[in-house]
Amino acid sequence: MFLSSNSVYSSYLYWSETLNFPYPLASHSTHTVENKIFIVGGAGNSGQVSNVIEGTIDTNTGQIVSWKFSSKPLPITNYWHVGYTLNNKILIAGGTYYPPGVNSRKSVYINEIDNSGDLTEWKKLNDLPIDVEGISLAGSAMVGDYIYFIGGATWTGSYITKRNEKVLFANWKSINDYISWDFTTPLPQPLEGPGVVGVRNSIIVVGGQSPNGPSNKTYIGNVTFDGKILDWMEVNSLPAPIYRPAITSIGDYVFIGGGVSNGTESNKVYYAKVTSENGFEGWNQISPLPGYYCCSSMIISNNYIFNLNGVLSGGFTNKVYISHLKDFISTSPPPSPPIIPNPLVLIPGMGGSWNYEAIVHGRDEKNDKWKGMPYYFKETYGGLLHALEDAGYEKEKNLYIYYYDWRKNITYNALELDSFIKDKVLKDKLENTKVDMVGHSMGGLIARKYNQYFKSENVNKVITSGSPHKGTGMVFRLWEGADYSDMEGLMGPALRTYVNIHNKNYKTNVETIQKSAPSVLDLFPMWDFLKDSGGSLKSAESIHWKNEFIPTLDPLYELSNPGTTTIFGTGHDTIKYIKIEDRNDKDETFGKWIDGKPVSQEYEIGDGAILAASARIPEINFVEELNSNHGELMTKATAQYNLLKSLGIDSSKIKVYPNNNFPGFGKVIVLTVASPVEFSLEDPVGEIYEPDDGFLMLRKPGSGNYKVHLEGVESGDFTIYFGRINDGDEAWGYSNL
C-alpha cells in the first residue's frame, strides 16, 4: 500500500507567495533560529556561492518581511552540503565545489549566533572521518542531543565515484573546537540525495538515488539513548521514486515535497505521521506546490510551512511560498492520554533473592519473606528498575519484584507466583487487568510455567531474558560434583556459602546441593551434551540424571500472550559439550560424577552461561544482544533499551542506566554469622566493611591480615562462617565462640 486512504487534510495547505529571495538559488541549507531564517551557500545562475542570507519572519502574520546579506559569509563556496541548527549555532558538513569539475568536500564549519541575532565568525572543525575525498548530497537529521550525517555520494571530476550507505553521528552538545563523529548502523542501501528528518526518537529516510536507480522506499531508524541507530525498518513507500526532495517535520508529522520523480521535477507534497511506537501510518498526498520543484528547502516556523528557492522546471528560482498549518494541526486527532503501563512483575534469576534465616539457618521461609540478594541484586537489576521508573512505572503500584526461594524447584515457585499476583499485584486493580512479566534466567522459566498452569488468564506479555529454555551445561559440574567452576556471577560465592554452612547435615557436598537445592536439576541440559573418551555423544536419555522439569513445559509459542519475546546474549563462549572419563574410587566415595568426570569442554555462541540456542525460541519474537554476557542482559545500555522497547514503551520515554563496571565475583572474601551478633570486617589498611542483612562480601580483597569485629546482641554461643575465593582456589572455615 502506497498511500493511506485518509485524504481529509488534502485542502488544508493553501500555498501563497511571500517575500522572494534576493536571487535565484538551489542546493543550499536553511536554518531557523527564533524568527530568523539563515540561507547558507548554494548554487544559482552565477554559480556556487559563499553567501549567507538572513531573513526575518513577522511572528504575527508568518510572512517573511526582509532579506539581507550577512557580513559573515562562508569562508568557502559550497553547495550540496547538509546543515544543522543547534540552538544558537549553525553547522554545515560536506558539500561540493567546482571548478575543475564537480568535487565533493568533507569539511565541517560552525557559526554561533550572538545575542543580537547576527552571525559571528565561522570556525572550521575537523573533517568528516571518511575514507573518500568528500561527500555531497547526504541527508541530515537531529534527534535529541545527536546529529546525523546520512548517505550521500562522492563526486570527483564531475563523476560519481561512490554512493554511500554509512551513517555518522555526534553529540552536538559536546562540540567545541572538535566534533567527535562515530559510525552507527548503515542504511540498508547506498543513497544519494534522500529526504532525511528526525521525528521523536526516530530518523525517517525517504527516496534517494541508489546504485539500482531512483528509490521510493521509506526507512525508519530507531535511535537509542546514546545516539546509536538500532536498526532500519522499511515502512510504507511513496507512490513514485523521489530524489533530492525538500523535507521537514513538526511534532509527529513529516512533510516532503518536490524533488525529481520519474526524470522530471515534481510538485507533489505528502505527509505522514510517526506514531508513539515508532510506527509509520503511511503517506497522504496533500495540496501540491505551485510549481514543479527540485532542490529547494522546506522549513516550518510558527506553524507556517515554507518552500524556499530551488530549481523550477529547468531554471533556478527565487520564489518562496508559504502555507498556514493551523487548520492541519487543529484538525489532527487530539493527543492520546498518557498510557498507564500494565502492572509489571520482574522475576530475577537464580541467586537474585536472599533470606538470612533460610540461607544461614536453613529454615523454610515463604517467598514473601525474601528480598534482593545483597551486593548482587542492586548491581544487576538496579539500573533496569531505574529505567522502568523513568518510563512511568512506580514500585508497589505497577512495578513489582517477585523474590523467591531459588533452592526450591521451579514448579513450586511458579505456583507461589500465582498467590503473589492475585494477592499483591492485582489487589485493588480493575477487573480484567493483566500483568506483564520479565524473567531473567531462571525467572523466565518461572514465568513460563506460571503461564502454562493458569492459561495466561492474568498475563498480557512475557519477556524472558537469558532463560535456559533447553537447559544449560554450566550446572553439570555443580550438580554432579559440587564443582562451582562453571557458575556465572554471584552464584558461585552464594552457593559455596550455603553449602559450607549446611554440609554438616549431609554426607557430602554433592548431597548437600542435590537435597537442599533441587532447582539446579531443573536447569540440566535437554540435548545430548556428554561425550565419552572416544568423542561419541551419550544420549541424554541414557545418563543417570535427567531434567524432569523442562519436558513438562508447553511450547512457549502456544501461549496466547501477544508480544511474548525471548532475549538472548551472544559473543561469549558457552558450554555445549562436556567430555568425560570414568570416575575414580575417591569420586565414588564422595558421591561425585555418577555420569562421568569432566575433563574438557566444547563451546558454542551464547552469553557465557546460556547458549543462544537455549535462550532463543525461533517461533516467537526474539532480540539478540550482541556481545552481552549473562549479567549484561540486565546491566548493558542496549539490553535495557531493547527490554523496555519489548514492553511497548515509547522510545522517547526510555532512559537507561547501565552498569558498565559490573564487578566480578571470582576474588572475594565472604563472611556471615549464625548467631545474634553484630559484626564487621577490617581490611589490612584499616578500612571497615559492614554486612548487608547478615551477609558480608568483599570483592577483590588485597593481601594481608583481616580482622573480624564482633559485638553480641544476646547471650549465648555464636558461629562465624568465612571463606576466601581466589578464582579456582578457595578455603572455607567456621569458628564456634
Q: For 465-487, what is each residue's pLDDT tens digit?
A: 999 999 999 999 999 999 888 77
pLDDT in the model for residue 279: 66
Q: Which residue has the cell 558450554?
A: 575
Mean pLDDT of 272-287: 78
Which helix (H) or strand (E) covers residue 640, if one does?
Answer: helix 637-646
pLDDT in the model for residue 721: 85
Q: Which of 119, 109, 205 is nearest to 166 (CA)?
A: 205
Q: Is 226 exposed, middle or buried (0-12, 13-18, 19+ CB in 10 A)?
A: middle
One-letter amino acid at 626 equals: L
pLDDT in the model for residue 656: 83
User: In the structure, what pLDDT confidence band is assigned to residue 338 with cuts at 50, 70 and 90?
Assistant: low
User: In the structure, what pLDDT confidence band is assigned to residue 348 with cuts at 50, 70 and 90?
Assistant: very high
pLDDT greater than 60 at residue 332: no
Residue 33 forms beta bridges with which residues? 36
Report how far residue 565's alpha carbon sits from residue 503's, in angstroms, rounded to the nearest whole number: 40
Q: Is residue 394 part of a domain?
A: yes
100 grid coordinates: 575543475
Half-sphere exposure in the Cβ direction for 312 (13 Å, CA): 16
Whole-number percent of the chain with pLDDT over 90: 62
User: In the structure, what pLDDT confidence band is assigned to residue 490 with cuts at 50, 70 and 90?
Assistant: low
User: In the structure, what pLDDT confidence band is assigned to residue 4 with cuts at 50, 70 and 90?
Assistant: very low
User: In the structure, what pLDDT confidence band is assigned to residue 231 with cuts at 50, 70 and 90?
Assistant: confident
Going by their DSSP bridges, the two strands 621-625 and 565-569 should be labelled as parallel
Report how far residue 83's alpha carbon sits from residue 88's, in angstroms, rounded to the nearest whole number: 13
Report how far residue 384's alpha carbon sits from residue 71's, in angstroms, rounded to the nearest whole number: 52
pLDDT greater than 60 at residue 628: yes
Residues 50, 171 within the same domain: yes
220 grid coordinates: 525508519
Residues 98, 243 within the same domain: yes
Residues 265, 390 within the same domain: no
Residues 373, 312 within the same domain: no
pLDDT in the model for residue 492: 62
pLDDT in the model for residue 259: 94
Q: Is residue 287 part of a domain?
A: yes
Lowest mean pLDDT among 54-63, 279-288, 636-645, 680-689: 279-288
Q: Is 189 exposed, middle or buried (0-12, 13-18, 19+ CB in 10 A)?
A: middle
Report how far residue 492's alpha carbon sits from residue 485's, in angstroms, rounded to the nearest whole number: 8
388 grid coordinates: 522502568
Report how far residue 84's alpha carbon sits from residue 197's, in angstroms, rounded to the nearest whole number: 11
pLDDT in the model for residue 94: 97
Residues 298, 399 within the same domain: no
Report how far residue 260's alpha carbon sits from residue 281's, in angstroms, rounded to the nearest whole number: 24
Mean pLDDT of 513-523: 95
Q: Answer with the one of 629, 653, 677 that is the final residue of a domain.
A: 653
Check: pTM over 0.95? Answer yes or no: no
Asked if 477 and 598 count as a contact pair (C-beta separation under 8 A), the reply is yes
Asked if 281 and 229 count as a contact pair (C-beta separation under 8 A), the reply is no
pLDDT in the model for residue 1: 27
Q: Is residue 39 part of a domain?
A: yes
pLDDT in the model for residue 5: 32
Half-sphere exposure in the Cβ direction for 310 (13 Å, CA): 29
Q: Is residue 641 part of a domain?
A: yes
Residues 586, 707 within the same domain: no
Q: Answer with the one of 628, 653, 678 that is the final residue of a domain.
A: 653
Which alpha helices (H) appear in 196-338, and where do they start and end?
326-331
Q: Which of 404, 424, 418, 426 is nearest to 348 (CA)?
A: 404
pLDDT in the model for residue 688: 93
pLDDT in the model for residue 458: 86
Residues 286, 321 within the same domain: yes
Q: Is residue 10 part of a domain?
A: no
pLDDT in the model for residue 207: 96
| Residue-wise pLDDT tens digits, 64-109 | 999 999 999 999 999 999 999 998 999 999 999 988 889 999 999 9
pLDDT greater than 90 at residue 522: yes
DSSP code, position 432: T
Sheet of strand 82-86: strand arrangement: 82-86, 89-97, 103-112, 123-125
> Which residue range(s) make up the domain with 682?
667-736
pLDDT in the model for residue 270: 93
pLDDT greater than 90 at residue 281: no
User: In the structure, what pLDDT confidence band is assigned to residue 361 with cuts at 50, 70 and 90?
Assistant: confident
Helix axes 509-516, 491-502, angle to 10 degrees: 110
pLDDT in the model for residue 11: 43
pLDDT greater than 50 at residue 3: no
> Would you mind telling me the total number of residues written for the chain in this entry?
737
pLDDT in the model for residue 625: 83
Average pLDDT along the chain: 89
Mean pLDDT of 426-448: 93
Mean pLDDT of 589-595: 95
pLDDT greater than 70 at residue 536: yes
477 grid coordinates: 559440574
User: In the structure, what pLDDT confidence band is assigned to residue 666 with cuts at 50, 70 and 90?
Assistant: confident
Report how far residue 578's alpha carbon sits from residue 563's, in angstroms, rounded to the nearest whole number: 35
3-state secondary structure of 375: coil
Sorted by sequence, the CB contacts under 8 Å of residue 314 that are 6+ apart come out as: 265
CATH number of the domain at 126, please. Answer: 2.120.10.80
DSSP code, position 617: -
pLDDT in the model for residue 340: 66
Residues 353, 315 within the same domain: no
User: In the structure, what pLDDT confidence band is assigned to residue 494 with cuts at 50, 70 and 90?
Assistant: confident
pLDDT greater than 60 at residue 276: no
Mean pLDDT of 147-176: 94
Number of domains in the chain: 3
| Residue-wise pLDDT tens digits, 101-131 | 899 999 999 999 998 889 999 999 999 999 9
Sorted by sequence, the CB contacts under 8 Å of residue 470 that are 6+ apart come out as: 525, 526, 527, 550, 611, 613, 614
Residues 138, 200 within the same domain: yes
Q: Is residue 241 part of a domain?
A: yes
Report how far residue 24's alpha carbon sits from residue 293's, in angstroms, rounded to the nearest whole number: 13
Mean pLDDT of 133-150: 95
Mean pLDDT of 649-661: 79
710 grid coordinates: 564482633
pLDDT greater than 60 at residue 530: yes
Report how far residue 359's alpha carbon sits from residue 356's, in angstroms, rounded to the nearest whole number: 5
Residues 561, 439 within the same domain: yes
Which alpha helices (H) appear in 345-401, and where do they start and end?
356-361, 377-390
pLDDT greater than 80 at residue 462: yes
Mean pLDDT of 3-16: 51
Residues 200, 138 within the same domain: yes
3-state secondary structure of 137: coil
Q: Is residue 312 part of a domain?
A: yes
Mean pLDDT of 606-625: 89
Lowest mean pLDDT among 371-385, 403-417, 641-655: 641-655
Q: Answer with the one of 284, 299, 331 that is the final residue of a domain.
A: 331
Going by their DSSP bridges, the two strands 435-440 and 459-465 should be labelled as parallel
Lowest mean pLDDT among 217-226, 388-397, 605-614: 217-226
Asked if 446 and 439 count as a contact pair (C-beta separation under 8 A), the reply is yes
pLDDT in the model for residue 61: 85
Residues 110, 250 within the same domain: yes
Sorted by sequence, the CB contacts under 8 Å of residue 36 that are 6+ apart come out as: 54, 55, 56, 57, 113, 117
pLDDT in the model for residue 7: 34
- Helix, strand and coil content of the chain, in percent to the nearest 5, comes to 20, 35, 45
Residue 85 forms beta bridges with which residues? 90
Q: Is residue 661 part of a domain?
A: no
Report how far residue 457's alpha carbon sits from residue 635's, in angstroms, rounded to the nearest whole number: 31
Report how far residue 345's alpha carbon sits from residue 425's, in angstroms, rounded to the nearest whole number: 8
Mean pLDDT of 355-383: 91
CATH number of the domain at 474, please. Answer: 3.40.50.1820
